[in-house]
Structure 1
């Protein structure tokens, strides 16, 4: 595998490439990506793309060549929350009939579709397949995000890629936050049509006030937002998600907005009534160093990494905006100089092994990696 700019990738002969994964911070490049003569899939990324050069603007592709032995079968499904499930089931059926049970499925949904995509594919594959991916992003939250595959793009939809290889495809889904002692049970919540969760009460108390009290104990004040409502500053929210515990792992959710009329919180992933949530926290250094932990958890001896994919939450970028090149440098060192690309996403999808079984999630403020390998 190798990483190329869009201009360099466009010069490659069609027959030399198995597939290419493209991340771009420039939505105007998407139509050029669609014209590439080999199977290409990916999403738009927030602000830049992680490469060995750092966190850089532009379009970069992880290109799989013929001798890599990593096969991929890609699809684009356009749709909304009402229409996405049936075509996704058709995609899963086609994968099973014409490709076989994949080693991994990578998804690139748009905002609000993540839970339905994960749930539908999880059911279709009988919870036997790891699902990893990231939500398409833009640079200013204006909605100029795109997912694409097979010469087509969608502003609302998902690209789905099934992978198979004779060599292990490694993966890790990691939070990188520390649980505090502050927690509570969701006692009233609803799930808006556009995705996520509105949390009205924690332990029977107004959720926004509970969260604000948790933040206050860490020295963060959101009094103005609590009174007037609105988006919680990313510099605060990025360091203070809420988390759920699964075995030895945690899955975190971005507390996005205060709804003042209801004294409620808008959270960008699905949480059910009756679940216990914890106030999780991190420092800037934690959000940078978790890159190394994520790769280290994936690595196995006697395997050579031939390519890597990094998914990093865009909501965590604000607190560490001056250290994004450092993340790319750490990741490059951990994968021992192997080619890699990474995207900053509006949501992260990944897999954990809980009590011996695969559990696939949509979450926020996470980091994950996929590593393609060969035996040494």
Structure 2
């Protein structure tokens, strides 16, 4: 008796500078691996024309759901790390599964846009009234916590969310999103998954607590104004034992020492979500890529280049272990890798790709570099963080036989 897989995943990537030639090249490569996908994800550099990419993808795959998101200075796939202008495609063909995408860009609050996006995505999936197994989230940076709250308000907090905030090359607002329906530089993009196979996921920081902490005593938006009733930068400089220029970009200086907050415990071990310091404000505050609340305790976390390089593989190994029994046979996956981490170890990203490939058992995967990561922790909490890795794996455990 032969067996026909009911589900397949494939990827392709093109480094051609011309948007038209690049997307046509990526599609041509993809067609050699998979036919009639129900879902196509596209990750691309900021210089590419998102409207042209959208139109060509919709013309080529008129029956597929599509979601696109810009990535910082390149993309990584199972073919390796590609720096600079590139377009990567990730496609899923699932005979018994269903998928739906939606992009909402309005003057409403991020909470309301998220509500509308997830409901529209479910409608587009053709599975009204049925909760998805997984939600992929790509929003523009700034209010990701509210976006997660909006999704959970509609569907509850138990459905795992994996995602990454749209990025550009220099944090200058040139990030982009699109679906097969339209494009936007501001909004909430969502894909809901109803796959016919098992899904596992993982969300980790890979940083250690230095046991230096302070209480947030004043915040405004995403700026911590005061820690322990002092200008926040004073406390942070003490932790790092070095001076940081006032009102300057400190992304690189802070990438190994983000601020951590306890999310929960597993076997008495605490796990954290991270906030990456972006810059020092004129009044001595610290602007972040995540929202921190007054009265929260924040810890100075510590990472190393070696941890940044190896942890992507460890996160995928962790996802492989979730709910799995017997021999592993992943069909493919999606990995969300922080742009700040990528920039810190950029000259060794080929090693990161090698670790991910090994952990994925050489199955196809795509990994954009994002300005914020979303995932579900082992304790079941969906959260937004920075300098983190989120991963989802689809496992080959169901076949159609004839």
The answer to whether TM tops 0.5 is yes
In structure 1, C-alpha distance between the alignment counterparts of 2:106 and 2:330, rounded to whole Å: 36
Provide the residue aligned with 2:271 in structure 1: 249
SS in 2 for 1:274: coil
In the alignment, which of 359, 362, 368 is matched to residue 390 of structure 2? 368
Alpha-carbon distance, 1:70 to partner: 4.3
Alpha-carbon distance, 1:334 to partner: 0.6
Structure 2 unaligned spans of 5+:
1-8, 14-22
Q: How does 1:1-376 map to 2 (within 5 A)?
A: 1-5=9-13, 6-11=23-28, 12=31, 16-35=36-55, 36=57, 37=61, 38-56=64-82, 57=84, 58-67=86-95, 69-80=96-107, 82-94=108-120, 95=122, 98=128, 100-191=130-221, 197-216=222-241, 221-223=242-244, 225=245, 228-232=246-250, 234-246=251-263, 247=265, 248-260=270-282, 262-299=283-320, 300-302=324-326, 303-354=328-379, 358-375=380-397
In structure 2, C-alpha distance between the alignment counterparts of 1:329 and 1:70, rounded to whole Å: 30
In structure 1, C-alpha distance between the alignment counterparts of 2:48 and 2:396, rounded to whole Å: 35
CA 1:125–1:46: 2 relative to 1, 3 Å: same
CA deviation map 1:159-184 (0-9, x unaligned)? 11111123221111110101101111
SS in 2 for 1:28: coil
Alpha-carbon distance, 1:9 to partner: 5.0
CA 1:322–1:15: 2 relative to 1, 3 Å: closer
In structure 1, C-alpha distance between the alignment counterparts of 2:12 and 2:288, rounded to whole Å: 36
CA 1:308–1:15: 2 relative to 1, 3 Å: closer
In structure 1, C-alpha distance between the alignment counterparts of 2:167 and 2:143, rounded to whole Å: 13
Structure 1 unaligned spans of 5+:
192-196
Alpha-carbon distance, 1:103 to partner: 0.8
Aligned residues: 357
- Between stretches 325-334 and 52-61, larger displacement belongs to 52-61
**TM, length-normalised to structure 1:** 0.89
In structure 2, C-alpha distance between the alignment counterparts of 1:52 and 1:88, rounded to whole Å: 31
In structure 1, C-alpha distance between the alignment counterparts of 2:172 and 2:277, rounded to whole Å: 19
Do the aligned partners of 1:23 and 1:44 also contact (CA within 8 Å) in 2? yes
Do the aligned partners of 2:26 and 2:87 also contact (CA within 8 Å) in 1? no
Alpha-carbon distance, 1:60 to partner: 1.2
Do the aligned partners of 1:26 and 1:44 also contact (CA within 8 Å) in 2? yes
RMSD of aligned alpha carbons:
2.1
Alpha-carbon distance, 1:108 to partner: 0.3
**TM, length-normalised to structure 2:** 0.83
Do the aligned partners of 1:55 and 1:325 also contact (CA within 8 Å) in 2? yes
SS in 2 for 1:98: coil
